[in-house]
Amino acid sequence: MNQLDHTQDILRQLIAYPTISADSNLQMIEYLADYLDHVGADVLLNHARDGTKANLFATLGQGHENGVLLSGHTDVVPVADQDWSHDPFDMVERDGRLYGRGTCDMKGFIAACLTKAQDYAKLPLKTPVHFAFTYDEETGCIGAQGLAKLLQDQGITPRLAIIGEPTRMKAIEGHKGCCEYTTHFHGKAGHGSMPDIGVNAIEYAMRYGTKLMDIAQDLQGRAPENGRFAPPWTTLNIGRITGGHIHNVIPENCSMDWEFRPVQDADFSYVKNTIETYVSDTLLPEMQRRDPNANITTEIVGEVVGLEPTDQNEARDIVLELTGQNHADVVPFGTEAGIFAALGMSVVVCGPGSIEQAHKPDEFIDLSQLDACLSFLTKLESKLAA
Ligand SMILES: [Zn+2]
């Protein structure tokens, strides 16, 4: 069987595991572990605290240092409320495309990695090849953060990482961070005709939201010169507000989901400090004067650091060389790359399929993209073999 057919067979299996971030990925992890174990890799599983999900980290070759890491996430975004023309977890081939949830984001890359693992296992490897397959990327790179800790604890220090998110195999050397929060406003209920006896949670949420929008304005003025992102500043978005009951009841609870995407570390601290100060100096004292139990708490859903482009980047240079591209780009979406970069690896994002199709109904990957990925991973052998 040729490698593209083999990859397609693996991908069909991977798509059949409905690894929506909210659900367990253990069956898929078990499949990946069996497969990699079978080709001779050392396989480590790293479970989430509640045991329902796991990261997989596998190594071909000897040693803990200097390795090349291929990384992908196992989770996919939900399909509920999306209009699919077929079962999203039963892969369909049509007109040179493979349709199914996760085909491009990013089980196609994982399938290609598994196919090539068989070849890598036969090479006289000069440095180890690692495979990192994580959980909960789509909900804030939770799994990758656990994996990073595992690597640190075990003293595993790969020198470079390739993150196979869908970039149509273009080399990506930078992206913004992505920080997501849910802020809860706890007030005090009462009759709507007597606002003074209660603490209106929605009122404080609105003031908090207004402050966030002021910060969003400031961020535009803080954009670095010659920024390469589109837009070049840190963006901020309020995505959801829920709270209250009915016209005439003072709402005691309200919550707000919001996010920002820092282009630089300084903006990360600016946003957090500014909003925290507003809460502690203005909103909270007012609320608690009226009811000492009133409160505002913020839950961190995920704080994913960005990938800042750097002059020196071996991972990027290897991808450019092997794919014949002459420059690397930046993208507006977040990945696990910054987490690996923080461990000291040089990191590039490069994978098959297009982000245009990710997260949408009838998600697909072009077979030609899978083929291009296989051919890249084959050329990579020249960098791995002694
Ligand atoms: Zn992805």
Domains and CATH numbers, the chain: 3-175+305-384 (3.40.630.10), 178-304 (3.30.70.360)
Distance 138 CA to ligand 1 centre (A): 7
- Of 379, 55, 329, the residue nearest 165 (C-alpha): 329
Distance 359 CA to ligand 1 centre (A): 9
Whole-angstrom Cα distance, residue 299 to residue 322?
43
> What pLDDT, on the 0 to 100 scale, is given for residue 141?
86
Helices (H), the chain: 3-16, 26-38, 108-120, 142-154, 201-221, 265-278, 284-290, 314-323, 337-341, 367-379, 381-384
Query: What is the torsion angle, in degrees rounded to the nearest 10, for the CA atoms of residue 270, residue 275, residue 276 and residue 279?
Result: 160
> What pLDDT, on the 0 to 100 scale, is given for residue 332?
78
Q: Is 173 one of the catalytic residues?
A: no
> What pLDDT, on the 0 to 100 scale, is given for residue 305?
85
> What pLDDT, on the 0 to 100 scale, is given for residue 310?
87
Handedness of CA 114, 115, 116, 120 (dihedral sign): positive
Whole-angstrom Cα distance, residue 331 to residue 179?
16
C-alpha distances out from residue 17 to 28, 91, 144, 165, Å: 6, 11, 20, 19
Distance 198 CA to ligand 1 centre (A): 44
Distance 50 CA to ligand 1 centre (A): 23
> What pLDDT, on the 0 to 100 scale, is given for residue 1?
79
Distance 107 CA to ligand 1 centre (A): 9
The catalytic position among 105, 136, 137, 336 is: 137
Distance 137 CA to ligand 1 centre (A): 7
Distance 211 CA to ligand 1 centre (A): 31
Whole-angstrom Cα distance, residue 236 to residue 179?
9
Tell me how crowded residue 75 is: count the other CB atoms within 10 A of its CB. 24
Sequence-separated (6 or more) residues with CB below 8 Å from residue 350: 162, 163, 164, 167, 169, 170, 171, 172, 319, 323, 376
| Peptide bond connecting 88 to the previous residue in cis, omega within 30 degrees of 0 | no
C-alpha distances out from residue 266 to 73, 155, 218, 316, 360, Å: 28, 30, 13, 25, 33
Burial string for 249-285 (b: 16+ CB within 10 Å, else e) reads: ebbbbbbbbbbbbbbbeebbebbbebbeebbeeebee
Whole-angstrom Cα distance, residue 198 to residue 130?
57
Whole-angstrom Cα distance, residue 324 to residue 111?
23
Distance 62 CA to ligand 1 centre (A): 29
Residues in the chain predicted with pLDDT less than 50, given as ranges, are: none
Distance 14 CA to ligand 1 centre (A): 15
Distance 46 CA to ligand 1 centre (A): 20
> What pLDDT, on the 0 to 100 scale, is given for residue 297?
98
Whole-angstrom Cα distance, residue 46 to residue 54?
5
Whole-angstrom Cα distance, residue 376 to residue 164?
11
**pTM of the shown model:** 0.84
Q: Is 75 one of the catalytic residues?
A: yes
Computed over every residue of the chain, the mean pLDDT equals 95
Sequence-separated (6 or more) residues with CB below 8 Å from residue 195: 250
Q: Which two tokens stand for residue 233?
A: 């500043």
> What pLDDT, on the 0 to 100 scale, is given for residue 226?
83
C-alpha distances out from residue 191 to 186, 200, 201, 246, Å: 16, 11, 13, 11
The catalytic position among 75, 136, 180, 267 is: 75
> What pLDDT, on the 0 to 100 scale, is given for residue 308?
84
Sole residue written with tokens 């991908």: 11
Distance 140 CA to ligand 1 centre (A): 11
> What pLDDT, on the 0 to 100 scale, is given for residue 273?
98
Distance 217 CA to ligand 1 centre (A): 29
129-134/295-304 β-pairing:
unpaired
